[in-house]
Structure 1
Amino acid sequence: MPSNSATPTKSDTGQAASKQRSVQRQVDASDRAKPNGKSKSQGAMQVGARKYPEPPFPKQHHPKPGEEWAIEPAPLYDAPFWQGSKKLDGKVALVTGGDSGIGRAVAVLFAREGADVAIAYLSEDRDAETTKQAVEAEGRRCIVMRGDVARRAFCRKAVAETVKRLGGLDVLVNNAAFQVHSNDFEDLTEEHFDTTLKTNLYGYFHMAQEAVPHMRPGSAIVNTGSVTGIEGSKELIDYSMTKGGIHAFTRALSGNLIGKGIRVNAVAPGPVWTPLNPSEKEAEDVSQFGAQTPMKRPAQPEEIAPAYVFLASPQCSSYITGEILPIIGGY
């Protein structure tokens, strides 16, 4: 019978195996030429508008709820490179946890895009005043309201004050959070668990439910999720649980509010240099915070805030709702 040219011969397979061994020898030689057989380690990735701090950071541990003025180095929030273009012109935004961290950076960029901003915060008066001054420096109005988002009465008051004093409510940013690690599951107390859930889930629910009746078509809700809500964290079981819940809440609420013309999305950050983590982790861990990301550093708040502008502005994201946007420094 004539030979089938598609059938590999011993010569063909021998050549293929020889080629594989040749490639293997080249890689083996390359590995032997490098320390531990690995490529030379590179520093943290720096491709932003300015050089961002990278580990190791000063060892520090701050009392809850964490105050931005006490953190070293100071988180970067003012985004001096960001040029406003009226993406939120004439709108009113309410940002919970707006005194510091991501909330402060979001408030500043919202103001630069033309929004008046209301800030809800727990007890960090000095930080809240700094944020208020930063928003007003952008030429916009800012009001600050002290209270606990875990309490329905405060959420109702915060929304009512925003509408009364700023003339409406177009964007709600649910951002306030509580996070404390628990290395052993058995050590996670009911008080700890309850505090996390009441702040991170009840707070978002209460604030959204109070805000929606005041929102018009074109309004937006932006929730702060977390990479822990996607991947989980063995030391942050309660926190991971709430952040996963926030992601589900975002998707479910987005479908519920489509008929009202209100978009609902979430940002899911990885490690970000804010008061949340230096007040949560032990000093040694804080020193290396963010070092395990592919970029080998944590994000700065001003690197996360543009995502909130994008999701809040109907100019940018009119066809986006129910989405979770991870910003985690690479996979």
Structure 2
Amino acid sequence: MSDQDAPPNPAEQYPRPPLPEQNQPHPGSGERMRPEPDHGETSYQGSGRLTGRVALITGADSGIGRAVALAFAREGADVAFCHLPEEQGDADTTVGLVEQAGRRALSVAGDLRDEEFCASLPGRCITGLGGLDILVNNAAYQMSQPDGLTAISTGQFDRVIRTNLYGMFWLTRAALPHLRPGASVINTASVQAYKPSPHLLDYAMTKAAIVAFTQGLALQLAPEGIRVNAVAPGPVWTPLIPATMDEEKVAHFGEQSPLGRAAQPAEMAPAYVFLASTGASYITGEILNATGGTPLP
């Protein structure tokens, strides 16, 4: 194999720390990040693995969710997704990427902390796109608190729990009556579920709960032919990072990974495609680790 044909070195494929110091108000925007995240805009090539499917993704305006929406569309799926109202500009970009892939897109603004909003999403997806085959619970909230447990206010704790757990619970419960045999539920867990960072204690708690929810729901739904899995990313370069961490942490984000850098959202999307596809038909209750080499159970 010539050097020209060799695959890229994964340790050098994307920028390594130190990164430019930066911060943004929450929820942040990928377009204002330096370097801008890669969602697979120029690299992801589909092969028809999700042709004719309809997916509903939470938090697909940017980050991992946008990369998954783009990959699903290029694999042949129509995509509905939700986002916060203040993320409309980023959501419009995701809609454009899906439509450029020749698929239909539906974006819905709202807050996953609202039970009625969560309950309405499956119906909106079915009305707008004609079905629901894949549910991706991806949206999350975190806020770094370097001063520890006593610095976590009840307000912050409530927001983290309601966004990361209540939203997932309400939406999945509302989606179940519409899911047929062959459908797939994919949750976004995290390396934090197994190796919690002290400054992300409340966030890590929710990710551990997502692992338990995934494995328990997989057992419940296996007799119905509905698979439930999760992806556990390591550090990923998304707007959540400069919007929830101080500038020094941002500059060194990802250096703890054995590969020495944070992942790009585009590097997460293939895991979701695989778990949604018929190629994973005998896989359920699995946590697919995508941590850059950090070993997890």
Match for residue 61 of structure 2 among 99, 105, 127? 99
Q: Is the 8 A contact 2:60 2:94 kept in 1?
A: yes
Match for residue 90 of structure 2 among 127, 134, 143? 127
**What secondary structure is seen at the aligned counterpart in 1 of 2:241?**
coil
Question: What is the aligned partner in structure 2 of residue 57 from structure 1?
Answer: 19
Any stretches of 5+ residues in structure 2 without a counterpart? 1-7
Give per-residue Cα distances to partners, 1:90-128, cap 9 Å, x unaligned. Answer: 000001000000000000000000000001001301100
TM-score (norm 1): 0.84
Alignment of 1:209-224 (within 5 A): 209-224=173-188
- Quick check: which has more Rg, 1 or 2? 1
Question: What is the aligned partner in structure 2 of residue 301 from structure 1?
Answer: 265
Distance 2:274 2:265 in 1: 15
**Quick one: structure 1 residues 50 and 136, their matched pair in 2 at CA, closer, same or farther if it must change by over 3 Å?**
farther
Displacement of 1:259 in angstroms is 1.8
Give per-residue Cα distances to partners, 1:123-164, cap 9 Å, x unaligned. Answer: 301100000000100000001000011211111222111000
Distance 1:103 1:142 in 2: 13
Question: What is the aligned partner in structure 1 of residue 128 from structure 2?
Answer: 165
Question: What is the aligned partner in structure 1 of residue 116 from structure 2?
Answer: 153
- Shift >4 Å, 4+ stretches: none
Question: What is the aligned partner in structure 2 of residue 22 from structure 1?
Answer: none
Q: Say if 2:48 is the partner of 1:109.
A: no
Displacement of 1:48 in angstroms is 4.8
Question: What is the aligned partner in structure 2 of residue 27 from structure 1?
Answer: none
Question: What is the aligned partner in structure 2 of residue 15 from structure 1?
Answer: none
Displacement of 1:82 in angstroms is 3.0
**What secondary structure is seen at the aligned counterpart in 1 of 2:80?**
strand
Distance 1:279 1:49 in 2: 25
TM-score (norm 2): 0.93
Q: Is the 8 A contact 1:49 1:81 kept in 2?
A: no
Alignment of 1:1-331 (within 5 A): 47-48=9-10, 51-78=13-40, 80-122=42-84, 123-183=86-146, 184-314=148-278, 316-331=279-294
Distance 2:189 2:139 in 1: 11
The alignment yields a C-alpha RMSD, in angstroms, of 1.3
Distance 1:272 1:138 in 2: 24
Distance 1:140 1:63 in 2: 32
Distance 1:169 1:49 in 2: 37
Q: Is the 8 A contact 1:224 1:267 kept in 2?
A: yes
Displacement of 1:47 in angstroms is 2.4
Q: Is the 8 A contact 2:11 2:259 kept in 1?
A: no
**What secondary structure is seen at the aligned counterpart in 2 of 1:65?**
coil
Question: What is the aligned partner in structure 2 of residue 10 from structure 1?
Answer: none
Which region of structure 1 is more displaced relative to structure 2, 78-87 or 193-202? 78-87
Count of matched residue positions in the alignment of Structure 1 and Structure 2: 285
Any stretches of 5+ residues in structure 1 without a counterpart? 1-45
Q: Is the 8 A contact 1:55 1:297 kept in 2?
A: yes
**What secondary structure is seen at the aligned counterpart in 2 of 1:238?**
helix
**What secondary structure is seen at the aligned counterpart in 1 of 2:95?**
helix
